[in-house]
Amino acid sequence: MRKLVVVGFMVLPLLVAGCNKGPAEAALKVADEAVAKVVPEAQKFVPDQAKGLTDAAAAARAKFNAGDYTGALVAANALPAKATEVETAATAKKDEWMRVWKGFQESLPGVVAGITEKVTALEAMKKLPKGIDAAGLAAAKAALTDVTAMWTKATEAFTAGDLKTALENGGEVKAKSEGLTKMLEGVQMPPKAVKK
C-alpha cells in the first residue's frame, strides 16, 4: 500500500504537468500573436524593449519544448500584458519623435531659405561687405549645399517611414543651420535699394 502511495505521489506531478500541456500551448499561441503584432513597430521606436519581449517569448517557448508546461503557461500568460506595455512605450516614443519632426518641418525650411537668400545676395555682389571674405563665402556656400542635401535626405527618410534617420538628419540640419546663421550674422549687408 505504501509503495502505491509513493508511486502515486511521484506520478501526480507528471499528470499535473501533462494536464497543463494543452493550456500552455493555447497560451503560447495567444502570446505569439500579441508579440508578433507589437514587435515590428516596437523595434523602430523602443528596440531594447522589443528585444526583451521577444526574449521573454522565446524563454516561454523553450520551457514548453523542455516539457515544463506549467512554467510555459505562467510565462505565456504574462506575455500579452508585457506586449501591451511595449506597444504603449513605442506609441509614446513615436509621438515624441513626431513632435520633434513637426518642429523641424515648421522651422528649418524657413531658416534654410533665409540663409540661401543671404548667400545668393552675397554671391551677386561685386565687392563683399564687411564681415565676410571670399573664403568665408565659399565656406558658407559649401555648408549651405550640405544643409540642403541633408534636409532632402531627412524628408526622404520621413516619407519612407524611417523616422529615426529623418530626425538624425534633421538634427544635423538644425545644428549646421544655426552655425551658418551665426557666421552670417556678422556680415553687414548693404541696405536694399528702394524703388521709387
The per-residue pLDDT string of the chain (196 residues; one tens digit each, 9 = 90 and over) reads: 544 444 344 434 444 445 788 999 999 999 999 999 999 999 999 999 999 999 999 999 999 999 999 999 999 999 999 999 999 999 999 999 999 999 999 999 999 999 999 999 888 888 888 888 889 889 999 999 999 999 999 999 999 989 999 999 999 999 999 999 888 887 877 766 334 4
Per DSSP, the chain holds a count of helices (H) and strands (E) of: 6, 0
Q: What is the pLDDT of residue 195?
A: 41
Q: What is the pTM of this model?
A: 0.74
Q: Is residue 195 part of a domain?
A: no
Residues 100 and 178 in one domain: yes
Q: What is the pLDDT of residue 188?
A: 77
Q: Is residue 5 part of a domain?
A: no
Q: What is the pLDDT of residue 133?
A: 87
Specify the residue for cell string 542635401: 149
Between CA 119 and CA 81 the distance in angstroms is 56
Residues 106 and 80 in one domain: no
Give the closest residue to 43 by CA, choosing from 161, 158, 182, 170. Answer: 161
Domain end among 59, 74, 92: 92
Q: Is residue 158 part of a domain?
A: yes
Residues 176 and 112 in one domain: yes
Q: What is the pLDDT of residue 125?
A: 86
Q: Is residue 72 part of a domain?
A: yes
Domain end among 37, 70, 92: 92
Give the dihedral sign, CA 162/163/164/169: positive
Q: What is the pLDDT of residue 7?
A: 38
Between CA 120 and CA 133 the distance in angstroms is 14
Angle at 151 between CA 169 and CA 167, to 5 degrees: 30
Between CA 66 and CA 24 the distance in angstroms is 12
Q: Is residue 196 part of a domain?
A: no
Residues 76 and 129 in one domain: no
Q: Under a CB-based contact definition with an 8 Å cutoff, are residues 187 and 122 in contact?
A: yes
Q: 88: domain range?
A: 12-92
Q: What is the pLDDT of residue 191?
A: 67
What are the CA-CA distances from residue 126 to residues 116, 122, 129 (Å)? 18, 9, 10
Q: What is the pLDDT of residue 20?
A: 81
Q: Is residue 3 part of a domain?
A: no
Q: What is the pLDDT of residue 100?
A: 96
Q: Under a CB-based contact definition with an 8 Å cutoff, are residues 78 and 49 in contact?
A: no
Split into its structural domains, the chain has a count of 2
